[in-house]
Structure 1
Amino acid sequence: MRHKTLAHFTGIFFTFLILNVFHLQAQYTVKGILVDSLTHESEPYATLRITLDKSPDKPVRLNVTDTKGRFQEKLPHTGNYTLQITSVGKRTVVRRFTITDSKRVADLGTLYTCDDAQMLKGVEVVAQKPLVKAEIDKISYSIEDDPDSKTNTTLEMLRKVPLVTVDGEDNIQVNGSSNFKVHVNGKPNTLMSNNPKEVLRSLPANSVKSIEVITEPGAKYDAEGIGGILNIITTDTKMQGYNVTLGANANNMGISGYAYGTVQVGKFTLTGNYSYNYQDQPRSLSESGREDFTSTDYRHLSTGGSSKNKGNFQFGNIEGSYEIDTLNLITFSANIFGGKFDTQGDSHTSMSDHEWNERYSYLTRNRSTNQFGNIGVNADYQHSFKKKGEYLTLSYKFNNSPNNNEADTYYDEVKDVPFSLPHQYFDNEAHTAEHTAQIDYVNPFNSVHYMDAGMKYIYRENYSDSQYFLENAQGEMEASQNLSSKYQQGQHILAAYADYQLKWKKFGAKAGVRYEHTFMDVEYDYMPERNFKAGFDDVVPTLNLSYMLGMSATLRANYNMRINRPGIWYLNPFRDTSNPTSVSYGNPDLDTEKAHILGMTFNTFSAKFSLNANLTYTFINNGIERYSFMNNGVQENTYGNVGKSQRTRLALWMNWNPGSTTRLSLNAGGDYADYKSKELNSHNSGFSGNLFANVQQTIPWELRLSLYGGGSTPYVSLQGKGSSYYYYGINLSRSFLKEKRLNISLFASSIFQKYNSYRNETVTDTFRSWSNSSYPSRRYGISISWRFGELKTQVKKTQRSITNDDVKAGGDNKTGGAMQ
């Protein structure tokens, strides 16, 4: 019945969509084709600017011709219009036309242009910039040249950016992947990287100049294995004014609110952002099982239970600048992020022999609190030279990420258990603190050659203090020296990089190298005999090649080496024994993981259709893997540099705009992975794939409708495999008031299913285990945002700043898991 309802709903929607698209064809339209008057060849990617005669300074449409020089633009209403078509090296074409109710389509036919003799003599002619620009390592979308930026938020504009997909719940993917970093004016923004949709939803688009999608990070970035970078370039216009945006969101799992504002006082410019989120999720369900091949008496272990999670998190930042003069600029920023989640869980455990006769059982009750946060401060000084694009930047950054976990575990209904189950409590305090200093120099020698170089120093401290308490015979909680641990790891990282770029006709090349020396000092307060020091060097090369196949198509090839240093949750030796049948702990002896990536990319884009196809091959010889093994009937879980992997992936991104009010996008990918470990005597391989599709349509009454869905096949890992999944949703929104300053959205996802279930399986020579987790999936609610004031300025930024993205995050306590 549920599937019939879904099919019926989907059929009605697509029937309505098709009828609406046909209805749009009857709306006001101007069309034509632009060709060269001498060669009669089409003029692709010439810029179109359409204005009403009564307001010539405000374009109603801004776009480019397609690959064959054609254009067809929808117009808002009747009136007298002027069309200007500009192209570098060509004379501007100007045509006036009129749209009435009786003449809804203005067919301008073939328009001719020719070389501009004055421009050829060296006279500068100012023309409108194309909206999209492809470079050797990135694609840029000009937000300021798009008229919609005057009323939309940055998140709404992000839907137009090539290689970026935003679904109905505002989840963002870059180049088909959700694993990306967010930078602002070339420097990392922790808030946006952790919560991009919340922050970008509160950022007005008229404060953004352009958005860059950096698909192949070069040597100037830390050698961290990320899929790409979303770089938001803000405007630096020096005007007075202010802008404030307020918003709120309410759904069946919680509420949130946010505020964004910008203001200028004299030479100082400030911008600030704050958001608060509260979540109260319905109860989650879990079950698991294990078969121990080495035992007959204790063969089968079964566990089933549930947990309830609720809490809050909030974040905010402030950024400012002071322009000493036209060549010297000082900027600063500070951000704070933190939250607390409480979890209550109960589970029943039963052990049986090889004939399924129960040997023992018990009930576990767990109450835990997870507190997390991040505090960061940046300061930059930039000196610009008289040559355009040449500058020197000095930067300092401090970042601290405290985490505290407390858990209280006790047992009921204990039956024939052959080991002790005392009431236990642990308090685990951990943090990662960083001090970073950096210097960067950039020099564009000319239009063909470009060079940049820099040096960087990082001092990073990973600290963990885990106190474990057990109930003694007198019923008192007593500290356990054997289970407690105190651990400190200091890292000194010195890095230097150099990049060289060549642009010659249709060919482009970018080569770079990064050298990193790491010195590590590890101390254990309770086990000083384990203290050690180590040092190692990494040379990280990068190479990108590109060739323009035409005005709209590019072929690129690249090689990148990336390294991942393990984070605190991989390194922490603290043993979590709250589940006596399955113990987890980190490995402080982990080494840096090195990945080698070979890739080839083809992309083509136009006003109507865009395509990006990416083929990559990645191999890792010392991969950090989470693995499990049996030890006297107890499953132990930890990490090690024990993996060798090869992965070949083909990713496809497509976007089609059949009309000005319709957009269809697709993200699809498939890969074959092969995992091996000589140390664990394990080998696993297999295919997996994923698909995401999104349909956006403007319907009558200026309503914006979005329908999306996607899913994935099971994935493989070193010792097992995961499960498949699927999801779907719908979003309906409308803007009100003058200049569309008030926006209201209704949204719903997974409305026909209460839970999403995920199954994982691990198979080794000594045991087989599986787990099945069910999380609440049905979601529905309303979102409201209101923008007031007139933004006339934005914080001016240095061209370079510090980015630390070399750490591999992970563990059960990472903050991202609490905000899903």
Structure 2
Amino acid sequence: MSHLLRTLLRISSLLLLQVLVSYAALAQQRPGTLVGVVQDSMSRRPVAYATVVLLPPSPGGSQLAGTTTDLQGSFTLTKLVPGSFRLRVSLVGYAARTQSVVVTSAATTLPPMLLAPAAQQLGEAVVVGRKPLVEVQPDRLVYNAAQDIGNAGGTAADVLRKTPLVAVDGAGTVTLRGSTNFKVLVDNHPSPTLAQNLTQALKGFSANQIQSVEIITTPSARDDGEGTAGIINIVLKKGARRQLNGHVGASGGNRATELTSALGFKRGLVSVNAAASTGTWYEPDQLTRQRLGFSALGPDTLTQRGHRINSGQWYNATLSLDYDPAEHHHLALTGTLSGYQGQGQRDLFSQVVASDKALNQLFTRATTEYVGSASHEVTGTYTRTFAQARREWSVLAQYARNAGTFGYAFDQFPTSAVALPPDRADYRERSQGRTPSQEVTAQTDFKQPVGDATTLEGGLKAIFRRTGAAATVEGLTPAQTPDFVLLAGRGTDFHYVQDVQAAYASVATALGKKLTTTLGSRVERTSFAADFRTSGTSLAPRSYVSVLPNASLHYTFRRDTTGLRLAYSRRITRPYIDYLNPFVDRSNPQNITYGNPDLRPELTDAYEVSYNTLVYAAPVLVSGTVRHTGNAIEAVRLPTTTPGVTAQTYANVAAITYYQLTLYGTAKFTKQWEASGGPTAHYVVFLSPDRELLRRGFSAGMNVDTSYHFRRKLTAQASLSGALPTPSLQGQGGASLSYSMGVKKTLLGEKADVTLNVLNPFNDSFPSRSSTTTAFIDERTEYRSYQRAFRLSLNYRFGQDAPEREHRKANNDDLKSK
């Protein structure tokens, strides 16, 4: 009996052990999940739309599962059989990466997968130590300015001149895809200085501080609704996060000089980065103008010619602190000081020949023009991540203040074709003004994954903006008064208040392994009021609500090297102080200018189709865009009662439709020789019932860059950018052309660089010819900027580099400015 009992116990134990083993084996077969994020190996920025596939552990097997990364570079693979596998990540412009992974019955979070830029050869991608000059990504073009030796010693304007889809004419006017309606951000946030005077402010940024420039043609719901042509985001270089590192540099030439420095280090849980730079510029130019006027008094002609020397100095300093008090918690504080002070000396000859000889004029004005800015801003952020991948909450607060100044002083010499000593002037005038502004921003954003293939994102934002302009004008007629007297009615004192509240939501979903969709909308409420203190009048408080939807669809084809993207977005452009300020600027006596405080915002609908692929292993992007603005803000010329004098202001006077086609690609012909570039063409239609105008026109631009890497750390590079004349509502803008050549030698164990650049060596200037044609004038203007230049730059690096954390910034990209 006891023997039987012992036997039954043994059998029961064996059965129990078998059940436990079977249960454990069954548990091992429960489906697993892989969660990860894909980042650029050099910038540590998320890589969107990368293809992620799970493969058998041995080469030669077929794909087991797959997906694409979302806008934050995140991916999730679900319902996976536990075991050992290979995970492969690929995207056009990067070298594919394959690594071993182990799938368990639980969710496995992988460390960041880093993709290195690829140097294309026939048939495969080869990892190299430097990024391509231009990265073609599905939702943007990235110009890696730090890789372009031609930028050494230059300014941000020089960098933008070589950026795809961007054109900068001789006068410094910047256009994106043929339009001035765009926003420029710095590290994903706007600068008050840039908003007030983009042309001058770009001179206050050293090209040596710029890491890259991103061209975003269809921003998401998270981005503010401003910038109808898109967003230009200037990404600045940052110091290291681990060990002490930095650089010092100096450059000099016949057009600019600069000194730059940067320092970064980490101690414990705190990282510190600092950068400072200063420089000068010197820019001579020349202007000629012929105008035929038509009035009730008969025809008249205006002839103007003059030359100017524009010079100035700038400074920029940034300090940022990062603190990680605990896992999943990050605090950041960034402060920036920047400013510039420019001065122009111009002698302008003017002659008016009218039908009535009593109205004839001939004089020369010697004018000194002033423009300046001093700004500072402080940004604080708190970011909370979670153990759950793709889940994140952030809070941001920002304060920005800018003190802009402007002014002029001229002496007018009658019946003289040249400037004379000041005591020979029959009239003198001077003006001083300021444009103070401040902004306070509060923002919060939240991302929440829903399942494995969907991410919800939403946020709130508020901007409180105060700006204005105050100016006085004084005149002196030596034969009548002994000193300057205040000219009543010529000055201004204008205060403007604008508040913006916004909310947005979007959902991104992977519909299968190849298709990703994003659908979102942004609602913005704008309230504003104005006080015209000079005249004692005011603009009563007003408000309006704008609904700004957007959607995108991205499909990756079978070979993972080709993608198709469809996108739609609605954008808004609010006029800034330069467009609203009613101050009458008479520094050019034959063309006075003033703003329009009654301007309404623009609304633009944009539709885009882009196709990116590999052609003989070279990334190529083809993009087609249609943008329609129903109430566009345009500069308009108006007649005056004085022969030979016109007025320019701004008005919502036209419906504008742009049709644009872009082709851009990069290629590596040998291990040492690479090139990038392509053309952009656009056709524009202006329709203005108020002006009874219908205008159509064609324009095109081109950017080309090539470099060759010799042995012994020597690199040569050449670039060319240009644009044909652009049509406008009442005429045609000027063409632009710029080219450069440079060589760089790396020394001292790659710690130092010596760079020599020559800009436009075969042309001392390039004529930019524009025209204006209306019922009352026919005007032709030629502007020449003397851009032949050379620069010698020295740069020394110390310490060790390490990956840099990306800071979040307030994207107050909602204003239209000059």
TM-score, length-scaled by structure 1: 0.77
Counterpart residue identity of residue 692, structure 2: N
Residue 454 and residue 335 in structure 1: after superposition, are their counterparts in 2 closer, same or farther (change >3 A)?
A: same
1:314-463 equivalences under 5 Å are 314-353=315-354, 359-414=360-415, 422-463=427-468
SS in 2 for 1:453: strand
Q: Aligned equivalents of 1:236 and 1:583: distance in 2?
A: 47
Aligned counterparts of 2:339 and 2:129: Cα–Cα separation in 1: 23
Partners of 2:149 and 2:744 within 8 A in 1: no
Alignment of 1:208-607 (within 5 A): 214-225=216-227, 226-228=229-231, 230=233, 240-281=242-283, 283-294=284-295, 299-353=300-354, 359-414=360-415, 422-471=427-476, 473-505=480-512, 506-550=514-558, 551-605=560-614
Deviation of 1:229 (Å): 5.4
CA distance in 2, matches of 1:465, 1:203: 34
Deviation at 1:121, TM superposition (A): 3.9
- 1:202–1:246 CA contact under 8 A, matched in 2: no
Does the 8 A contact of 2:662 with 2:681 survive in 1? yes
Q: Quick one: which amino acid aligns to residue 323 of structure 1? A: D
* Counterpart in the other structure of 1:746: 756
Kindly indicate whether the alpha-carbon contact (under 8 Å) linking 1:692 and 1:711 is maintained by their aligned counterparts in 2.
yes
Deviation at 1:708, TM superposition (A): 1.9
Q: Does 1:159 align with 2:133?
A: yes
**What does residue 138 of structure 1 align with?**
none
SS of equivalent to 1:161? strand
Give per-residue Cα distances to partners, 1:475-506, cap 9 Å, x unaligned.
21111221111001101111100011111221
Q: Cα gap change, 1:273/1:90 in structure 2, threshold over 3 Å: closer, same or farther? A: farther
Distance 1:504 1:212, change over 3 A: farther
User: Which position in structure 1 is the counterpart of 2:166?
Assistant: 177
Aligned to 1:757: 767
Q: Deviations over 1:156-188 (max 9, x none)?
A: 746152233456633256653364767788656
Provide the secondary structure at the position in 1 that maps to 2:579: helix
- What is the identity, as a one-letter code, of the residue corresponding to 1:347? L
Given that 2:91 and 2:561 are in contact with CA atoms closer than 8 Å, whether structure 1 keeps it comes out as no
* CA contact 1:176–1:667 (8 Å) conserved in 2: no
Distance in structure 2 (CA, Å) of the matches to 1:142 and 1:159 = 22
Q: How many angstroms apart in 1 are the aligned matches of 2:130 and 2:207?
A: 9
**What SS class does the counterpart of residue 727 from structure 2 fall into?**
coil
Q: Name the CA distance, whole Å, in 2 between partners of 1:676 and 1:114.
A: 56
Q: Alpha-carbon deviations, 1:703-758, whole Å to 9, x = none?
A: 211122232222110000123333322111121222x1211211112111111211
Paired AA for residue 780 in structure 2:
W
Task: Sort the Cα spacing of 1:443 and 1:198 in 2 relative to 1 into closer, same or farther, 3 A.
Answer: same
After superposition, what is the alpha-carbon deviation per residue over 1:125-163, rounded to whole angstroms, capped at 9, x for unaligned? Answer: 6768547589xxxxxx99874599xxxxx9974615223
Query: 2:669 aligned with 1:691, yes or no?
Result: no
SS at match of 1:329: strand
The code of the aligned residue for 1:503 comes to A
Relative distance call for 1:596 and 1:383 in structure 2 (3 A) is same
Residue in structure 1 matched with residue 691 of structure 2 by the alignment: 680
Give the Cα separation in 2 of the matches to 1:607 and 1:212: 25
Q: Letter of the aligned partner of 1:216 in structure 2? A: T
C-alpha change, 1:697 and 1:358, in structure 2 (3 Å) is farther
AA in 1 matched with 2:82: G
Query: For 2:150, what is the secondary structure of its paired residue?
Result: coil
2:743 pairs with one of 729, 732, 740: 732
Residues 53 and 64 in structure 2, CA contact (< 8 A), matched pair in contact too: no
Among candidates 652, 655, 662, match of residue 666 of structure 2 = 655
- 5+ residue gaps, structure 2: 1-37, 43-49, 66-78, 95-111, 120-127, 152-158, 168-175, 177-181, 418-424
Separation of aligned partners in 2, 1:203 and 1:618: 30
Q: How many positions carry a matched residue from both structures?
A: 686
Task: Work out the CA distance in 1 between the residues paired with 2:320 and 2:302.
Answer: 54
Q: Deviations over 1:65-119 (max 9, x none)?
A: xx9xxxxxxxxxxxxxxxxxx98424477xxxxxxxxxxxxxxxxxx677799x9
Q: Report the CA distance between 1:195 and its aligned residue.
A: 5.3
Shift of 1:250: 1.5
Answer yes or no: is the 8 Å Cα contact 1:383–1:391 preserved in 2.
yes
CA distance in 2, matches of 1:620, 1:801: 28
Residues of 2 paired with 1:698 and 1:511: CA distance? 44
Counterpart AA for 1:177: V
How far 1:202 sits from its partner (Å)? Answer: 4.2
Whichever residue aligns with residue 89 of structure 1, its letter is L
For residue 802 of structure 1, what is the aligned residue in structure 2?
Answer: 810
SS class of match (1:169): helix
Aligned residue identity for 1:779: A
Residue 607 and residue 790 in structure 1: after superposition, are their counterparts in 2 closer, same or farther (change >3 A)? farther
Shift of 1:580: 2.7
Deviation at 1:344, TM superposition (A): 0.7
Match of 1:62 in 2: none
Identity %: 19
Contact 1:750 1:779 in 2 (8 A): yes
TM-score, structure 2 normalization: 0.77
Cα distance change of structure 1 residues 401 and 157 upon mapping to structure 2, 3 Å threshold: farther
Alignment check: 8 A CA contact 1:519 1:536 kept: yes
Residue 605 to residue 276, structure 1, CA distance change in 2 (3 Å): farther
**Aligned pairs (5 A) from 1:784-803:** 784-792=794-802, 794=804, 796-797=805-806, 800-803=808-811
For residues 489 and 701 of structure 1, what CA distance do their matches in structure 2 show? 59
Contact 2:118/2:132, CA 8 A, preserved across alignment: no
Confirm or deny that 1:669 pairs with 2:680.
yes
CA distance 1:626–1:184, shift in 2 (3 Å): closer
1:45-194 map, 5 Å? 88-91=54-57, 121-123=81-83, 130=90, 145=116, 157=131, 159-162=133-136, 163-165=141-143, 169-170=150-151, 171-172=159-160, 176-177=165-166, 179=176
Query: 1: CA distance between counterparts of 2:796 and 2:739?
Result: 28
Shift of 1:292: 1.1
Structure 1 residues 305, 549: closer, same or farther in 2, change over 3 A?
same
Q: Is the 8 A contact 1:300 1:356 kept in 2?
A: no
| Cα gap change, 1:344 to 1:462, in 2 (>3 Å) | same
The CA deviation at 1:805 is 0.5
The higher-RCO structure (CA 8 Å, 6+ apart) is: 2
Aligned equivalents of 1:249 and 1:233: distance in 2? Answer: 19
Aligned residue for 2:785?
Answer: 775
Distance 1:391 1:687 in 2: 46
Equivalent-residue separation in structure 2 for 1:246 and 1:156 (angstroms): 21
| CA–CA separation in structure 2 for the residues paired with 1:125 and 1:115 | 11
Q: What's 1:626 paired with?
A: 635
Structure 1 pair 765/307, CA: closer, same or farther in 2 (3 Å)? same
Change (3 A) 1:465 1:648: same
**Structure number, greater radius of gyration:** 2
* Counterpart residue number, 2:35: none
CA offsets, 1:610-634, max 9 Å, x none?
A: 1111101111111000010111122
